[in-house]
Amino acid sequence: MVDGSDSPSNSNNSSNRESHYEPFEHVAATFYQTGLYNFPKVELHCHLDGCFRLSSVIKLAKKRSIELPTYDIVKLRNYCCLDADEDSSLALFLKKMAVFVSVYQGSREAIRELTLEALEDKAKQGIVYIELRFCPQLLASAPEHPKDMNPCIAEEHPDQLTPSEVMDTVTEAIEEAKTLFPVIKARLILCCIAPMPEISEDVARLAVKYKSKGVVGIDIAGEEDIEDTPAFRPHIRAFQYAKENGLHRTAHAGEAGSASSVIEAKRLLSAERIGHGYHISRDPDVYKKIKTDQTHLECCPISSYRTGAVRVKEQHPIIQFARDKINCSLSTDDPGVMLTTLLDDYKLVADFGVSEKTIKIMNLNAAQSSFLPEDEKKELVSMLKQHYGPLN
């Protein structure tokens, strides 16, 4: 975990870099003047297919003749996960997400627009490094191979797009964004889906195939049931394949599931980071282990309320994490369906009493725990420290 102390910059030391190395931009202060929190930021937990703009959703749905609950943008905003209450649940959230994802499934044009708009929006928030995650199989409309068992593919889908073609579209859009929004660097994490073990090994193979085009890791998302059972073993094999081929691992755990799911994610999936992890606060032994191991927690405060992971009447675990210097950071999760930005999550934790200094340290934690190669990671940390100044 980064402690916020100063260290010399290595951003100009390029003699040993490979030809594909992309240096971080030295961010001009004017580029990220966002009102509050005018400093460069890092985001590790954000779903690409949850980064849509509602105006684009309506436009694309009409163009592709896809049914939405409403085409009125005000009413569609009300359909989104705007509020948190005692009935909030991950299952309800995922049901609403599926409606929006259908607008992008099978369309190169829509997926390209989604990617470019996501990176533009993130750059405007001052985010200089982001790891975007998604499941290519959820956006595909055609099988990858004859034995493809993807349950998301409808037999008569009007557009035919394989998972590899989804990946080509996303990676080409990210390449295009380097010129349009040079301040932000993006890498990709591919998601297995917990209730779809039949696609996990295909996801892992695709992740390895696209390592050279920006895929840095693998994840598992959805309602958690992480255990060594026959039904779950395809996920375990997928993560093992990813590890053997040099990919990093993160896993959604301790969100819908108990604190023990965090330990099982580390044990069975070799997870290096944990998506969410709030429920470790309910188990002192697990909490102590995560703190001792300095396992990074990708926390999404607003999302945690709107998915019911944290109840609205509870004290948010992020308060305890900040107090105990747990290795964690802040992310948005699915800003399109929650109508939020990273700045909103910052404002929420500030309302909890978390200082701007602590938020900056969380950004340093995120940079240090990123899935970048070590030389790029060191440069990112150094660049953040130059902009943050002393944090002692």
Is position 156 within any domain?
A: yes
Is position 142 within any domain?
A: yes
pTM for this entry: 0.92
Is position 309 within any domain?
A: yes
Is position 230 within any domain?
A: yes
Q: Read off φ and ψ for residue 23, nearest 5 degrees.
A: -70, 150
Q: What is the pLDDT of residue 297?
A: 98
As given in the structure block, the two tokens for residue 121 are 């929006």
31: left (phi over 0), alpha (psi -120 to 50) or beta: alpha
Instruction: Give the residue numbers spanning the domain of 171.
Output: 70-388
Is position 136 within any domain?
A: yes
Q: Say which CATH number the domain at 91 has.
A: 3.20.20.140
Is position 7 within any domain?
A: no
Higher-scoring residue by pLDDT: 41, 157: 41
Q: How far does Cα 323 stand from its chain's mean position? A: 24
Lowest-pLDDT choice from 147-156, 242-251, 257-266, 350-359:
147-156
How many domains does the chain fold into?
A: 1
Q: Answer whether residue 353 shows pLDDT above 50.
A: yes
Q: What is the pLDDT of residue 131?
A: 98
> pLDDT digit string (tens) for 378-390?
999 999 999 999 9
Is position 49 within any domain?
A: no
Q: What is the pLDDT of residue 35?
A: 67
Q: What is the pLDDT of residue 85?
A: 72
Catalytic residues: 255
Is position 44 within any domain?
A: no
> pLDDT digit string (tens) for 136-177?
999 999 999 988 988 888 766 667 899 999 999 999 999 999
Mean pLDDT estimate for the chain? 90
